[in-house]
Structure 1
Amino acid sequence: MTKRWEPVHPAMTGMLHGGDYNPDQWLGYPHILDEDDELMKLAHTNTMSVNIFGWSALEPEEGVYRFEWLDEVMDRAAARGGHIILATPSGARPAWMSEQYPEVLRVSSNRVRNLHGLRHNHCFTSPVYRKKTQQINRLLAERYGKHPALIMWHISNEYGGDCHCDLCQDAFRKWLQVRYDNSLDKLNHAWWTGFWSHRFSSWSQIESPAPHGENQVHGLNLDWRRFVTDQTIDFYQSEIVPLRELTPDIPVTTNFMGNYPDMRPFTGLNYEAFAKHVDIISWDAYPAWHNNWESTASLAKDVAFVNDLYRRLKDGRPFLIMECTPSLVNWHEVNKAKRPGMHKLSSVQSIAHGSDSILYFQWRKGRGASEKFHGAVVDHAGHPDTRVFREVAEVGRLLEQLAPVTGTSVDAKVAILYDWETDWALADAQGFGQDSKQYVRTCQEHYRVFWERNIPVDVITPDKPLEGYQLVIAPMLYMLREGFGTRVEDYVRQGGRFVTTYASGMVDENDLAFLGGFPGPLREVLGIWSEEIDTLYPEETRELVDADGNVYAARDYCELIHLEGAEAIASFSSDFYQGQAAATAYSYGSGRSYYLAARHEARFHDAFYGKLIEELSITTAIPVEADAGVSIQVRSDEETQYVFAMNFTEREQPVQFANDAVLTDMATGEQQHTSFVLPPYGSVVLRTER
C-alpha cells in the first residue's frame, strides 16, 4: 500500500543523521565538546544518541548524581537546532551496584554467577535492578522530558543474553504454569518427556537448559527461548514505566540487531514479539562489505532482506538505522575498511528499503578499551580532514536533499515469510545436515530472484496478514503455528499463490512432529504428502528435469513426496527416487499452491519464479533496464515516486529508464537523462511524479 506515514515526533521533519555520542568518556577533556559542536555542523548531522552506557557518569556513587555534563550536551544540541535520542543507561551498570547488590549480576547456564564487567551482564528478573533502572529513568524523564532537543527515548542498548539465577528459574516456572494452564500433564505432553524418562512430577524439578543438565528436550529449549524474549520485554516494559508516565508524547525504541557478519537475523530474541512494544523499529546494521566469500552484490541482497524484514515489523512504517559504521568495525575476523563510495551506497540502500535515518556507532573514537579502533566519524586525529569524515559529510548533504522521502512507503505485492521460532527450532533439530539447514540463507535465496529483478518484497512474520499479496513464499517453514494452515488455505482459495518447500509443516509450535503425514496442516492446500528426506553430502547433487525438458541440479536435500491431486512440474532423474516429483503445482479454490521438494539451484528458481512473475504480471515499481548487481528500489506516496539506483559492483553499469520518464536528481535538483552510467559503488536518487 502506498502512503506517507506521519513522523513519530513532530520535530522529525527530515532524515536523521548523526549517531552514538559519548561525551561522558571525555569529561576530563573540556575542549572536546567545543570541537564536537563545530564538527557536527561540518558533518551535516542533526541527531545524536546520548547516554548509552552513561550510568556511572550520571550516578558515580549510589544516590549521588552528576547531570551537569548531560545538561550541557542537551543544551548545545538545542542551540544548534539538533535532536537528541536520549538513552536509558541500563545496558551496563556501575561497579558500585554490582558490589552492593550482587543479585543484579547474571548467572550463566553453568550456574556460575558472573563477575562485574562487560555489558548486559544484568539479571532481567532482579527486583533490585528493575527498581534502580526505574529510579534513574524517572530522574531522566523529570529533567529532560520537556527539553526542546529530545525527540525519542532509546531504551537500553541491544538487549540480549539470558540469566539462569534462582530468580529467573522461579520466573520461568511461573511462565510455564501460565502457558500450560498449571497442568504438568500438558507440559509433559508438549515436551514429550516420556523420552529418556524425563517426565516431571513437580514444577520445582524444571530447570533452564544447562550444559551439565538437560539440553536435549527441544520443547524445553524452545520454551526457554520464548521465556527469555518475554522476560526481556517485561524488563523493557518496566524500564519505560516512568517514561510513559512523564513523557507520553515522546516515542520509545530500542535497537534490534542482525547477526553478523553474514547478515543473518539475530536469533537470540524474537523481534516479531518485541516489535509490538516499541513505537518505531530501529536496528544496527554492520554487514561485512568487501568480504572474501561472496560478492558485494550478493551481500547487498542479504542486507536488503533484513531491511525489508524490519520495515514490515510495524506494517510498513519506516524504521531507523540506529547504528552503522562509516568505515570499519573492530570485531569481524578481518576488519576491512569500506572502499570509497561504499558508505554512501550502503546508506542509500538503507533509505531505499525504508529507513528514515543513518546514524553511526560512533561519533568519536574513544582512547581506550575494546572499541578504540572501531570506526567513527571523528578519528583520533580529531579533525575533519579525513576520507571518512568527508564521506560522512557527503551523506549528510544528500540526506538533507532527501527530506521529502521521509515517511514514504514501499508497495510490495510479493511476500517472503521469515519466522524466528522456526529458525530456533530448525537450529535445534537433530536431523538433516547439521551445517546445511541454513534457514535464513534459504529465505534469502528465494528473495534473490526478486531483488535481481527490482521487484519490491515484504519480508513478513507469521502474524502478518497474507491478503493483499499476489504471491506468498514460505521456504522451509518447519514449524507451523496453530491456525496458520487454515490461513494459507483461505488465502489460496481466494486466489492467492503460495509457495513452500521441503522440510515444511513438520512440527507444531511445541516442536512435536505432526501425525498423519507431512506437511501437516499444509497437506490439503498443497495436494501432496511427504514420506522422507534424503540429505546429501556437500559434494553431491541430484539431477531433475522440468516439464520443458530443462535439466537442473539439486543439492543438500531431496524430498520424496506423493501426489494427492497436485501435478509434477519437475521430476528427479536420478537415484532411487528417479521419476518422482521434485516440484509440484496444485489448483485450490481460485488460487494455486506450489511445493519445491528439493533445494534447487539458482537457475531453477530463476525459471520457476520467472514464470510466476510473468503469469501474475508482477512488475517493477518503475520500468527500468539494468544488469545484475544494479538494484533499483522505489519509495513513494500518493503523488511522487523516489527512485534509488544503486550499483553494487566494481565496474561501471548502464541504467536505462523508459524514454518518456521525467527524472530529477534529488542531490542536484537537475533533470536526469533516462539513460546514464553508474560508476563502481555509485548511486543516485531520482524523483518522478506517479
Structure 2
Amino acid sequence: MPINNKLKKVWYGGDYNPEQWDKRYWDEDVRLFQLAGIDVATVNVFSWPLLQPAEDEYDFSMLDSIMEKLQEGNIGIILGTSTAAHPAWMAARYPDILRVDWEGRKRTYGGRHNSCPNSPTYRNYAAALAEKLAERYGNHPGLLLWHVNNEMGGYCYCDNCAKAFRVWLKKRYGTIETLNKVWYTAFWGHTFYDWNEIVPPNLLSEGVHWNWQRSNQTSISLDYFRFGSDSLLACYKLEVEAIRKHSRNIPITTNFMGTYKEMNYFDWAPYIDVISWDSYPAPNQPPSMNAMTHDLMRGLKDGQPFMLMEQTPSVANWQPYCKLKRPGEMKKWSYQAVAHGADTVMFFQLRKSLGSCEKMHGAVIEHVGHGNTRVFRECAELGEELGRLGDVLIDARPDAQVGILYDWENRWAVELSSGPSNDLNYVKEVHKYYDALYDLHIPVDMVGLNGDFNRYEVIIAPLLYMIKPGFAAKVESFVEAGGTFLTTYFSGIVNETDLAVTGGYPGELRKVLGIWAEEIDALYPEDTNELVMNGAIQELQGTFSCSFLCELIHTETAEVMATYGEDFYAGMPALTVNRYGQGLAYYVATSPEKPFLVKLLEYICKEKGIESLLPFQQQGIEASRRVKDGRNYLFLINHNNTSFVANTGLPSSFELLSGKRVTQNIELPAHGVAILQV
C-alpha cells in the first residue's frame, strides 16, 4: 500500500525526539512546527529503554503524552518501533543478543545496531515490543505510518549466526557435496565433510571483506552477505507480522540508505509498503549521484513514489568536514527528491539534541530554541510552498525510456573479486553512465534483474560480472524484439556462485554481443590508452582517452566501431555493436572518458527516438519529469553557485512555485528550482 494521502499534500516533517527534552518545551515545539508548515513527525525511534525499563514491565505513559500533544497540534505521526537499540538490562541478562564483529570480537553494551539479528532473545523481544505498540496505537487517529527499526544494517559473526548460516546453506544447496562444488573448495584443499565444519567467514577464518583483505573463499563471503541481508530481513518481517495483528490498514516502512552495500534492497522491496530512505549528499558529491540514488529507491518498487525520510536542514555532523548547506541548497535537495519521485520531504532532526554524537547535527529548531534563524526561515519557506502545491504532484510518476541495471549481489561479487584491479567500484562505474545521461537531460530508471525490460527502449548494464540463471535469455529476448542493450568490460565472467564461466567470456552473453574476451589489462591510476573511432558513427568521430581496464576482445558477429590506439593491443576492438534480431547490443571494452560516453549515449538515444527534456545541454542544470493524469511536470534545478537562464524549449508553461506563466527562457537563482506544468 502507498503512503496515506489523508494530508492531501507532500508530507513535510522529520524525526522528533521529545523524550530527550523537558516537557515544558513541547508546546513551543508544536507552535514552531505549525509556523514552519511541518505536518508530520517521526517519533519513538530510539525509546526502547523508556518503553520497557525491565523484562516484564512496559511503560507507555510518556509516549501517550507525545502522541496526544502531536494530535492536538494536527501533526501527523510516523511511529517507530524503537528496536534499533536494545536496553542495557537486556544485554546484561542475555549476552547472546550482542554482536560479534568481523574481527571476531564480542561486543559489549553500547552504540546502536549492536543486536545480533539471529539472537532468539532479540527477535522475541523486538517482536513483542512491536506488537505492544500496535495493540496500543494501531488505531490512533493521528497515525500515518509505521517505522520499523532504523537504518537496519551490519553483520554479526557469533555462534547464533554460525548455526543459522548452516541452516541457510542447507536450504540453498541441499547437500554438502553440492556446496563443495559451487564453492570450489578443492582449491587449497578446503573441502568440507560436515555442515558443522563451516564457520562464518570473518578475519579469523575464510573472510574476504570490503577492505580487500583476501582469503581463499570468495564464494563463502558472497553467500554470507546474502545470508546477512536475509537475516536482517527476517527481523523486519517478524515486526511486520506483529504489527499486522492489530494494525492492518496503516502502511509500514523501514528507512533505507541508498546504495548501502550490505543489504540487497531489491530483495526487501516486496515486504516494504512504501520505500523510504535517508539522503545525505556530501558537499562535494556530484548532484547526479544523489539523483541516481533517488531513482534507485524509486526503482525498488517499479516506479512507486518513495519517501525522503531523512536529510539534514543544514549540516551533517558526521562528515569529515561539516560544511553548511548554502542558502537555497536545502530547498534544492528537497525538490530534487520530489522531482525524482518522493512524496515526502523529511528531516533529521526537528529539534537539535543537547548531547551525544549528534548534538552538532543540523535541525529545524537550533539550540537557540526560536524561529529567528536562517535555517528555520528557509524551512518555513519550503513548508509554505509545499502547502501551496497541495496534492498536484502526489503519485505522479516519471516516464523514462532508458533503464540502468543495478544488482546488489553483482556488486558484492565484483568488489570481492581477486583482480583485475583493487580499484573496482561498482557504484562508481554505474554512475558514469547515469551521469552522462544526466548531462544530456535524459530521464533514467534504475532497474533490478527482475524488472520489466520491455518498458524501455534502452537497457544499460555496466560491470555485469555475474550472470544469474535466465538473465541472458531475458537480454536476448529484449534485443531480439528491438531493444538496445549495452554492457561493459568485466561482464559475463562468473555464475551466481562466483565460479568462472568456461568457453570464453562474456559467457552466456557471448551470443547476443557477438564477441569473446581473451584478457583484461589493468592500468595504473596515472596511465591511459586511446579509444580511436573508425568512422562507423558519423556523430562520434576522433580519438578519446580511456583508462582503468582495457579488455582484449575479438569479434564474431559484432561490428567494430572503435579500436585501441596504444600498447601491444593497439588496433584491437574497444567498442563493438552486434545486430541481434531487430535490436542492437553494444560492448564497451574499456572505461572511456566522460565526453565519449556523453556522445555515445546521445547517439544511441537519438537512434531510438528518445528525446532530451531540454533542447540542448545546459551546464549545472538538472531536468527531471513526473507525469500525472496526462499532465507533465518538468523540474528544473540550478546546481550552479550563480544564477542561470535556462532554455526550456517550451513556448509557454505555468510555473507552480511562483504561480506565473513563463515563456521559453526562465532565470533560476543560484540553487534555484522551477516546476513547470506542461
* Partner AA of 1:608 in structure 2: L
1:456-605 equivalences under 5 Å are: 456-548=443-535, 549-605=541-597
Summarize deviations over 1:455-492 as a string: whole Å, max 9, x none. Answer: 11001111212112100000111111111011000100
Mapped partners of 2:400, 2:245: distance in 1: 38
**Counterpart of 1:3?**
none
Mapped partners of 2:520, 2:404: distance in 1: 23
Aligned-residue offset at 1:625: 4.8
Mapped partners of 1:672, 1:579: distance in 2: 52
**Counterpart of 2:166?**
173
Q: Does 1:268 align with 2:262?
A: yes
For residue 124 of structure 1, the aligned residue among 100, 117, 122 is 117
For residue 353 of structure 1, the aligned residue among 340, 351, 359 is 340
Mapped partners of 1:659, 1:590: distance in 2: 34
For residue 369 of structure 2, the aligned residue among 382, 391, 396 is 382
For residue 401 of structure 1, the aligned residue among 388, 393, 397 is 388
> Given the superposition, is the C-alpha separation of residues 579 and 513 from structure 1 closer, same or farther in structure 2, using an over 3 Å criterion?
same
Q: Which range moves more in the overlay, 95-104 or 37-46? A: 95-104
**Counterpart of 1:685?**
675
Question: Would the aligned equivalents of 1:626 and 1:656 in 2 still touch at CA under 8 Å?
Answer: no
1:7-406 equivalences under 5 Å are: 7-26=2-21, 29-181=22-174, 183-215=175-207, 216=215, 217-258=217-258, 265-289=259-283, 291=284, 299-403=286-390, 404-406=392-394
Aligned-residue offset at 1:657: 2.5
Question: Would the aligned equivalents of 1:625 and 1:657 in 2 still touch at CA under 8 Å?
Answer: no
SS in 2 for 1:208: coil
Mapped partners of 1:342, 1:329: distance in 2: 13
Question: Would the aligned equivalents of 2:517 and 2:554 in 1 still touch at CA under 8 Å?
Answer: yes
Aligned-residue offset at 1:66: 2.5
For residue 637 of structure 2, the aligned residue among 638, 641, 646 is 646
SS in 2 for 1:356: strand
Aligned-residue offset at 1:624: 4.3
**Counterpart of 1:636?**
627
**Counterpart of 1:262?**
none
**Counterpart of 1:427?**
415
* Partner AA of 2:280 in structure 1: Y
Mapped partners of 2:197, 2:56: distance in 1: 40
* Partner AA of 1:423 in structure 2: R
SS in 2 for 1:476: coil
Q: Which range moves more in the overlay, 131-140 or 61-70? A: 61-70
* Partner AA of 1:673 in structure 2: T
Aligned-residue offset at 1:8: 3.0
Summarize deviations over 1:21-63 as a string: whole Å, max 9, x none. Answer: 001111xx12111111101101110111100011112122333
Q: Which runs of 5+ in 2 are unaligned?
A: 208-214, 536-540
SS in 2 for 1:240: helix
Question: Would the aligned equivalents of 2:2 and 2:273 in 1 still touch at CA under 8 Å?
Answer: no
Question: Would the aligned equivalents of 2:315 and 2:325 in 1 still touch at CA under 8 Å?
Answer: yes
TM-score where L is the length of structure 2: 0.96
**Counterpart of 2:212?**
none
* Partner AA of 1:200 in structure 2: F
* Partner AA of 1:686 in structure 2: L
Question: Would the aligned equivalents of 2:13 and 2:350 in 1 still touch at CA under 8 Å?
Answer: yes
Aligned-residue offset at 1:109: 2.8
Mapped partners of 1:441, 1:166: distance in 2: 36
Q: Which runs of 5+ in 1 are unaligned?
A: 1-5, 259-264
Aligned-residue offset at 1:659: 4.8
Question: Would the aligned equivalents of 1:626 and 1:653 in 2 still touch at CA under 8 Å?
Answer: no
SS in 1 for 2:455: coil
Aligned-residue offset at 1:14: 1.4
Summarize deviations over 1:248-297 as a string: whole Å, max 9, x none. Answer: 11111000003xxxxxx1101111111111101000000112x3xx6xxx
Summarize deviations over 1:610-650 as a string: whole Å, max 9, x none. Answer: 211221110135x5456111011111113211121100111
SS in 2 for 1:500: strand
Question: Would the aligned equivalents of 2:463 and 2:491 in 1 still touch at CA under 8 Å?
Answer: yes
Q: Does 1:442 align with 2:429?
A: yes
Aligned-residue offset at 1:11: 1.9
SS in 1 for 2:342: coil
* Partner AA of 1:267 in structure 2: K
SS in 1 for 2:635: strand
Aligned-residue offset at 1:7: 4.4
Mapped partners of 2:334, 2:426: distance in 1: 27
Summarize deviations over 1:221-259 as a string: whole Å, max 9, x none. Answer: 00000001111111111112221111111111000003x
SS in 2 for 1:632: strand
SS in 2 for 1:451: helix
Aligned-residue offset at 1:651: 2.0
For residue 664 of structure 1, the aligned residue among 645, 654, 657 is 654
Question: Would the aligned equivalents of 1:624 and 1:655 in 2 still touch at CA under 8 Å?
Answer: no
Question: Would the aligned equivalents of 1:626 and 1:654 in 2 still touch at CA under 8 Å?
Answer: no
* Partner AA of 2:524 in structure 1: Y
Aligned-residue offset at 1:10: 4.4
**Counterpart of 1:415?**
403
TM-score where L is the length of structure 1: 0.94
SS in 2 for 1:222: helix
Across the two proteins, how many residue pairs are aligned to each other?
664
Mapped partners of 1:395, 1:281: distance in 2: 23
